[in-house]
A and B are shown apart, each in its own frame.
Chain A
Amino acid sequence: MGELKLMKGNEVLAEAAIRCGCDGYFGYPITPQSEVMETLMARQPWNETGMVVLQAESEVASINMVYGGAGAGKKVMTSSSSPGISLMAEGISYIAGSELPCLIVNVQRGGPGLGTIQPSQADYFQAVKGGGHGDYKLIVLAPASVQEMNDFVDLSFELAFKYRNPAMILTDGALGQMMEKVELADFKPRWTDEEIEEKSGSWATTGKPSSRKKNIVTSLEMDSNIMEANNHRFQEKYKKMEEDEVRYELFHCDDADFIIVAYGSSSRICQKSVEIARSKGLKVGLLRPITLFPFPNKIIAELARKAKGFLSVEMSSGQMVEDIKLAVYEAGRNTRVNHFGRTGGIIHTPEEVVEALEDKFSWELNYGVKRSY
C-alpha cells in the first residue's frame, strides 16, 4: 500500500503529476486551483525528477507551452479554472487538431465571465463539446474524490497517449479545496529520450535522424481533401473512445424507479440524497459518469427500459441533461428526463435534491409513468 496522506484535491493533482513522471507543468494562477502550482513550486520537482514547472505570463502562453512540449512527445500539463480555460480554448483546439497528447485540468468556478470563486459545474458543454473551434473532442474525466484526483492524472496521460488526443480532468472548487485521505501512487520515472523515440518517434519532433522522414506538428492543411480525411480520422478515433473507454459507477440502480445522474462533487451529494430518498421509501439510484466524453449512453439506454425518470443533478442550469435526453431518445424511450442544480457557486444540499426529485416527478410518483406527454 502506498503512502496515506490528508491532502487537498489541488495538492494531490500536483503530487500525482510528479509521481506519474510528468515532464512539464505550465500554468497561470487562478482561484480556486492556485494550490496546484503552489504545491509544485514548493516541491521543486526539477531537483527530484527533472520535471519543469513554469509560471507563464498568461493562460494563452501556458497552453502554447503545453502545445510545444506535447509536440516533442513529452508528458505535459496545465491547470486552470473556468475563465482561464476559456482563454486556452484556441490552443486546445490546435492541440486536438495536431493530434497531440496532453493533460488540461479545469477546477471549475461559477460563471459566466469572471463569475465567482466558488464551485460550479457550468463548463460541461465547453469540456465535452469541444470548447474551441472545429470538430474535436477531449477525453474528459470527472473525479469525485481526492483519491480519484490522484488516480486520474496518470490515467489521463495514459489515455491521451493511447489516442494522441488532449485529455481533461473536469473538477471543481469543492474537490480542489477539500482534504481527504489519499493513497499516493508510487513514483514512475520520466521517460528517457530513447523511450520517447520508441513510443512517439513516428510523430513527435524529437530531432530528425537521417533514418526517417521529418515529423511535422501542425493543425494547418491547405488541401481540403486532406483536411477532410484528417477530420474523418479524428471522428474514427472519437468513435473508438466511445466504444472502449466509457467509465461509470452505479449506486443502488438495480431496483430503482428513478435514476439520479450526477458527476464529480455533485455525485457525492447525490449519494447521500439516494440514502435519504430510500429511507423515505423512494426507490432512487445514482448513475455517476466517470468519463463525460465518452458519455455512458449505453447504460442510460439500458436503465431507461425500467426507470420512470432521470434527474440530472449538476451545479449548472442544465447541460449534461441534454446528453441524457439524447441517450434516452436514441434508445427509443420516452422516459422523462429532468434537471436540478444550483448555480453561481452555490452547492445544492442532499435534501434539496430529494425535494426536487419529488417535485419534478410528482406525476410519476402519484400515477406511474405517462406514456405520452
Chain B
Amino acid sequence: MTEEMIIAGFGGQGVLSMGKILAYSGIMEDKEVTWFPSYGPEMRGGTANVTVIISDTRISSPILQQFDTAIILNQQSMDKFEKSVKPGGTLLYDPNGVLTPPSRNDINIYKVEGTKTAIEMGNPKVFNMIVFGSYLKVRPILSLDNVEKGLEKSLPERYHKLIPLNLEAIKKGQAIVETVQEV
C-alpha cells in the first residue's frame, strides 16, 4: 500500500499540522512516511500545501505531479490540484472555500462542510480535524487507535487535554462527509 496525497488550502487552516498528525499516525501503524511542505516566505493567509506519503515500503520521490488523494480547502488549490488527482483517485473538499466545484468525472469526489461544522461545534480550530475525519472515512488506511497515538505524539504535552476534543471532531467528520460522485 502506498498513499500519495496532497493537502492544500490557506495558511492558518491547519493544513501542515493535519499532514503531520497523518504522518505520525502512519508511523504508529509501522509505515514509512514522508511529509514535504511547500515552504517559503508565505505567512498566514497565503496558500499552504503539504505532500504526505504513507507506504508499506521505502518511499521514493517526495516531489509528485499526480496524487492518489487531494484534500482541497480553497479555490486556488482547487484550480491547481484538481487536475493532479490520478484517474480513479479521491478528491475531498470543503465547499465553504470553493466557488467552482470540481468537474472531473473520472475520480471519486467527496465534500465535507468542515468550516460550518467547526463553528457549530463552537471551535473553528478543529476544522482540520473534521476534514481529517472525513478523509479517514473515505480512505480508511489508518485505524482510529493509531490516529489517537499519532495525536499524542505530534501535540506537545501541554495540549494533550485537547485530544478528546480533536477525536470528537474526527468522529464528527467521519459522520458528515457526503459522497458527490464515486467511480
Contact = CB atoms under 8 A, between A and B. Distances in A.
A117 B40 CA distance: 7
A265 interface: yes
Interface string A328-366: 000000000000000000011111000000000000000
Given A117-B41, A177-B39, A178-B35, A268 B62 contact: yes
Contacts of B153: 6
Contact of A118 (B20, B27, B40, B64): B40
Contacts, number: 70
A265 B60 CA distance: 9
Query: How many interface residues does chain B have, given as a range?
Result: 20 to 34
Interface residues of A, number: 25
A269 B61 contact: yes
Contacts of A32: 39
A179 B60 contact: no
Nearest to B34: A180
Given A6-B35, A117-B41, A179 B65 contact: no
Contacts of B99: none
- Looking at chain B's contact residues, is the secondary structure mostly helix, strand, loop, or mixed? mixed
Contacts of B27: 4, 6, 181
Task: Report which residue of A181, A270, A275, A351 has the largest number of chain B beta carbons within 10 angstroms of its beta carbon.
Answer: A181
A353 B36 CA distance: 20
B5 interface: no
Interface string B49-74: 00000000001111111000000000
Given A178-B34, A179-B23, A350 B63 contact: yes
Contact of B33 (A180, A348, A350): A180
A268 B61 contact: yes
A324 interface: no
Contacts of B59: 180, 268
A271 interface: yes
Given A180-B34, A181-B33, A265 B62 contact: yes
B60 A275 contact: yes
Contacts of A180: 32-35, 59
Contact of B61 (A6, A181, A271): A271
A348 B35 contact: no
Contacts of A179: 20, 23, 33-36
A268 B64 CA distance: 11
Contacts of A301: none
Nearest to B153: A6
A173 B62 CA distance: 13
B34 A271 contact: no
A262 to B, nearest CB: 11
Contacts of A177: 36-37, 39
27 contacts: A4-B27, A6-B20, A6-B24, A6-B35, A6-B154, A117-B39, A117-B41, A174-B62, A177-B37, A178-B36, A178-B62, A179-B20, A179-B23, A181-B26, A181-B27, A265-B62, A268-B59, A268-B61, A269-B61, A269-B62, A271-B60, A272-B60, A272-B61, A347-B63, A348-B63, A350-B65, A351-B65
Given A117-B39, A179-B36, 11 more contacts: A6-B20, A6-B23, A6-B24, A117-B41, A177-B36, A177-B39, A180-B34, A180-B35, A181-B33, A268-B59, A273-B61
Interface of A: 4, 6, 32, 117-118, 173-174, 177-181, 265, 268-273, 275, 347-351
Interface of B: 20, 23-24, 26-27, 32-37, 39-41, 59-65, 153-154
